[in-house]
Amino acid sequence: MVFSSALFLFLFLPVFFVVYFLVPYKWKNVWALIGSTVFYAWGGPVFVFVLYGSILADYLISLKMVSSQGVTKKRWLWLGLVLNVGLLAYFKYANFFVENFTGLLELLGMGAFHWTEVALPIGISFFTFQKISYLVDVFRGEKKELRNMVDYALFVILFPQLIAGPIVRFKDIATQIVDRRANLIPEERLLGIYRFIIGLSKKVLIANPMGELADKYFDGVLDPSRGESWVAVLAYTFQIYFDFSGYSDMAIGLGRMMGFKFPENFNFPYISKSITEFWRRWHMTLSSWMRDYLYIPLGGNRVSATRTYLNLWVVFLISGLWHGASWNFVIWGAYHGLWLVLERGVLMSVLEKIPGFIRIFTTFVIAVFGWLVFRVEEWEVFTAYLGAMFTGEGGAQISAYQYTIFAIAIFFSFWAAFRPASKTEASPYETISPNKAVRITVISLLLLVLSSSFIISTDFNPFIYFRF
């Protein structure tokens, strides 16, 4: 069940929130847990048992951990980490490793290795990182453990952020889970509805048309012209941004309607003036998670320059693998890690002397080539499109409608570059006045009607990050 489906919008969402607002405060977490379980089970009922089994294990381990001291406490933490990483490794990477091992055996003439493919639970990469954050935050004493099993289960399975983030760390939401009276005010609900509809519009009105155009070429044209290759890669560049940021907006909006404040996940990444800045603006909850739970424990900036560069590169290599069990994701992570190392080592001092608009353009182009790696799993397709981008001939035939969507995507990706930094950094969703409330209501209704008409009239409605 995806947020931009008719089933979710016109059945699940109204039923869930009618009951949610009617039940007493002490039962809101219980109802939210029931609704979230139904939401997750819709995509694969069998995986509910996997999810709840891991939740129970983490819950019991956390209780053992806080009642222990010294080495014993650390051993309980490591047990929890191994169980979570092991579960992720089995479901997400077993097929990848077996396929590569089989390929090696066949290359050596030793025959094939027979294997029944393992199905991937939806959202496992996201909820695994959340569960790890719980164990580590409790171990460090940054937040007190949750003694109520319902509260802990809700932290993991809360449906707005369960499937594709934002990655909500325990210390950021612990108090909100326990105190359900906070933030449940009409103003928060209205801002949440507005944020949800903005995200829905980004997904349905921009990401989906861009996705159809990208798929048309990547999945159907094996010998592209120069124009077709650039159109395909740029369409995917805008698709993945509006798809994922749109989902994050919807998740944050839904959370706000329920009384939760999730962290921001995007801040106009395509106006970045370096890849370092890009990763401060793109998938921000993943970047901060990797920094606090992986990069800093590896030594961060406290070690030698060589070790710092290695840590940085390894973290992004792991980040690439986290996105998907395929070599193109590993290469994508290594690609971004290499740029970050180069910027930290030698390029940043040079970049600071270059005009801002040139740096924005250069960073965007670097990101675009990265998205080509991210999108294409087959080496032959990758080389065909990469080669055509530089040496191909001919243009691409796209309709006036597609030109219009491109123009809209470009405008909403880059317009913040022309605003004062103070206004760009400030969130437009934090406060509301009576005049703003009227404007928000009108805009929301118009966008909802328009988005709903698109949802009803088309079958193309994927979410890229659902498979991660």
In sequence order, the 6+-apart residues with CB closer than 8 A to the CB of 173 are 155, 260, 261, 262
Instruction: Locate the domains of the chain by residue range.
Output: 6-182, 187-467
Q: Determine the average pLDDT of the residues in 38-51.
A: 91
- The pLDDT value recorded for residue 245 is 96
- The pLDDT value recorded for residue 429 is 56
pLDDT band at residue 440 using 50, 70 and 90 as cut-offs: confident
- The pLDDT value recorded for residue 220 is 86
Q: Give how far Cα 415 sits from Cα of 267, 407, 421, Å.
A: 12, 12, 12
Q: Are 180 and 28 in contact (CB under 8 A)?
A: yes
Separation of alpha carbons 378 and 392, rounded Å: 19
- The pLDDT value recorded for residue 426 is 46
pLDDT band at residue 19 using 50, 70 and 90 as cut-offs: very high
Q: What is the sign, positive or negative, of the torsion defined by CA atoms of 454, 460, 464, 468? A: positive
- The pLDDT value recorded for residue 108 is 79
Please say if the pLDDT value at position 117 is more than 90.
no
Radius of gyration of the chain (CA): 23
Of 165-169, 347-351, 397-401, 406-410, the range with the highest mean pLDDT is 406-410
Separation of alpha carbons 372 and 389, rounded Å: 11
- Nearest alpha carbon to residue 256 among 184, 197, 201, 202: 184
pLDDT band at residue 237 using 50, 70 and 90 as cut-offs: very high
Peptide bond into 263 cis (omega under 30): no
The pLDDT tens digits of the residues spanning 191-230 come to: 899 999 999 999 999 999 999 999 999 998 889 999 999 9
Average predicted confidence (pLDDT) for the chain:
90
pLDDT band at residue 421 using 50, 70 and 90 as cut-offs: low
Beta strands in 163-314 (DSSP E): none
| 323: annotated active-site residue | yes
HSE on the CB side for 435, CA within 13 Å?
Answer: 0
Give this prediction's pTM: 0.93
The pLDDT tens digits of the residues spanning 131-168 come to: 999 999 999 998 889 999 999 999 999 999 998 889 99
Please say if the pLDDT value at position 423 is more than 60.
no
| Alpha helix positions (H), 295-433 | 305-323, 327-342, 348-351, 356-375, 379-391, 400-414, 421-425
Burial class from Cβ neighbours inside 10 Å (0-12, 13-18, 19+) for residue 253 reads: buried
Please say if the pLDDT value at position 424 is more than 60.
no
Least confident of 21-25, 262-266, 290-294, 434-438: 434-438
Q: Are 268 and 246 in contact (CB under 8 A)?
A: no
Cβ-based neighbour number of residue 378 at 10 Å? 11
pLDDT band at residue 91 using 50, 70 and 90 as cut-offs: very high
